[in-house]
Amino acid sequence: MRLEGVEVFVVGTPPPGWGGRYWIIVRLVTECGIVGYGEVYAAAIGPHAMKLVIADVFARHMQGETPENIELMFRRVYSSGFTQRPDPTVMGAFSGLEIACWDILGKARARPVWALLGGMMNPRLRAYTYLYPLPHHESQAFWTSPEMQAESALAAVDQGFTAIKLDPAGPYTLRGGHQPGMRDIDLTDRMLGAVRAAIGNRADILLGTHGQFTPAGAIRLGAAIERHQPLWFEEPVPPDDIQGMAEVARALRLPIATGERLCTKAEFGAVLRAGAASILQPALGRAGGIWEVKKIAAMAEMFGAQLAPHLYAGPVEWAANIHLAASIPNLLMIECIQTGGDFHLPLIGHSLRVDDGYVTPPQLPGLGISFDEDLARAHRYDAGALHLQMQEDPCNYTEGNSFAGGASRN
């Protein structure tokens, strides 16, 4: 059984674009005709340039190889060009291809991927979702409305979620870390308070930030919201400032989470050694794939850290997350997009779902999904914007800020 060919789908997401503007799905086929699917999470280059990177990584390091030799192929890619260091673009390409290899291996052995990773540890996976506008909400106002966020939180908890995430703390700018505005601190405090009042102790609150603060600024914000007992304070400083993140972790009585922008055990190991985070959020379509994140989970276990795999992508990475999560002992929860996502679910034939706040790992071979290639081709992405983009304008200290929770504004 040898890897023979690759096809890449760049799938545009219908408005409002939950999960990003597009998803990069890879289709691998073996010489004996077994097909596997994987997903590349985002990239620093456009999706059509990324297709060329994926094709090069496959042809250079994987074509003609057995899909069983995942460790060997990883080392080839990691060492490519005399690098041996994390490269998010090349490693993202390999991550999607690697996930597809596991799908092939499971199908070849008529077993789900989790069974090949050490077996079933977690037969039910706790799920969380971001808060999104309800149908009657005015979408632009939603992101700065404590009342609407509280209503959305209660609706999610009534669906069975025991954790929900919100993101009220101001803009993500390409300028790096900044001090939060007092309006942003006040809004974050009021929004967490409104959500806590609405849901009581029925669910955890997760504070989503994305590296937008200096260490001092993150500590100011964290101190203001500690009383609401969020389960985590996510990526409070830029992801490359590991010492700054450790400073925040030492100063606050809140768990720090990070990892969606990190690659391989090299970067996650540095976070753990510095004591910068106790919750890791690898994106399997970027971090190195399923096997590499399995290693990261084992390493985290020795530091008393838990995993909460990240998902702001499509349903193939979601499926990979589910199989990895089923197999590890230090799982906290997995990220989902609502109860599965209005476009995610039909793209995989409704083969996965969130039921009463939990996901049950599939029993079908491979990833256990039915990927709809015709639907993917019907939603081809031809525009020029990236999956997500940071704003150039600085923090607005005069009028306040609004960030639309990852909406791609298609």
Q: Per-residue pLDDT averaged across 83-104, rounded?
A: 97
Q: Per-residue pLDDT averaged across 15-25, rounded?
A: 95
> Residue 405's pLDDT band (boundaries 50, 70, 90)?
low
Q: Per-residue pLDDT averaged across 121-146, rounded?
A: 96
Q: What is the pLDDT of residue 42?
A: 81
Class of domain 116-363 as given by CATH: alpha beta
Q: Per-residue pLDDT averaged across 199-215, rounded?
A: 97
> Residue 406's pLDDT band (boundaries 50, 70, 90)?
low
What would the two tokens of residue 18 be? 């939950």
For 179-189, write each residue's pLDDT tens digit: 999 999 999 99
- Cβ distance 295 to 261 under 8 Å? no
Q: What is the pLDDT of residue 403?
A: 75
Give the residue extent of every domain in the chain: 116-363
pTM of the predicted model as reported, rounded to 2 decimal places = 0.97
> Residue 291's pLDDT band (boundaries 50, 70, 90)?
very high
Q: What is the pLDDT of residue 350?
A: 97
CA distance 93 to 58: 9
What mean pLDDT value characterizes the chain? 96
Q: What is the pLDDT of residue 407?
A: 54
> Residue 404's pLDDT band (boundaries 50, 70, 90)?
confident
For 343-380, write each residue's pLDDT tens digit: 999 999 999 999 999 999 999 999 999 999 999 999 99
Specify the pairing of strand 354-355 against strand 3-12.
Answer: unpaired
